Amino acid sequence: MRIDIITVLPHLLKGPLDHSIIKRAREKGVVKIYIHDLRDFSIDKHRRVDDYAFGGDAGMVMQIEPIERAISHLTAAREYDEIIYTSPDGIRFNQQEANRLVLLHNMIILCGHYKGVDQRVRDHLVTREISIGDYVMTGGELAAAVITDSVTRLLPGAISDETSALTDSFQDGLLAPPVYTRPADYKGWKVPEILLSGHAAKIAAWKHEQSLIRTRSLRPDLDKGDEAPETGED
């Protein structure tokens, strides 16, 4: 997969995308991530990419010319499946959307900034608008990093144990169950006996039950009314 990110703050993205799983995925060639400075496509010597809004509204607006030039530069070299704009009024990003995006080959992420982009960018240049939550940030760079991280970790080879990503929270619409590791007894705080039993079917049933309980307690908005299975435990 190739991800091209267009931003006015390229240095803000270097930290989040240069470590951990993302770094290893890039080194192994699982994903190619390129960060493009929108100012390189400015139409004047001052590298300006914003201007005042028509109509007298407060705040600056990202100009259409540099954005169109940046996108045209990329699309002239290859075909893109999606051109995404990070926007507070885009569709809500979730695990299902990440699962959809991971099937793509190439995508562009345009980071919003200032008061937003010229509406003509949204009308004619982007194919999808995505929000990571109902709040406003300084710019779309961190949203782009969130999307890139979430999608990259799903790519085959990004995680050494690929089944791990399939059991993450939200993959089945539920929160993940509690997890434990050694020691089994720490200061009298014990790991549930079922996890030490070695009985795969009962353990799987217990985990599903716990996922349902946690989801209904912590995120009732996700609850689809599934019945908790019998674990065989009294």
The pTM of this model reads: 0.84
Instruction: Tell me if 228 is assigned to some domain.
Output: no
DSSP state of 123: H
Nearest alpha-carbon partner for 154 in 35, 30, 32, 18: 30
Examine the domain organization and report whether 80 and 119 are in the same domain: yes
CB atoms within 10 A of CB 102: 18
What is the domain extent for residue 211?
167-222
DSSP state of 94: -
Tally of structural domains, the chain: 2
Instruction: Tell me if 114 is assigned to some domain.
Output: yes
Q: What would the pLDDT profile of 63-121 be if each residue is shown by its tens digit? A: 999 999 999 999 999 999 999 999 988 999 999 999 999 999 999 999 998 888 999 99
Q: What would the pLDDT profile of 90-102 be if each residue is shown by its tens digit? A: 999 999 999 999 9
Instruction: Tell me if 227 is assigned to some domain.
Output: no
Q: What mean pLDDT is predicted for residues 149-167? A: 80
The H or E element that residue 186 is part of is strand 185-186
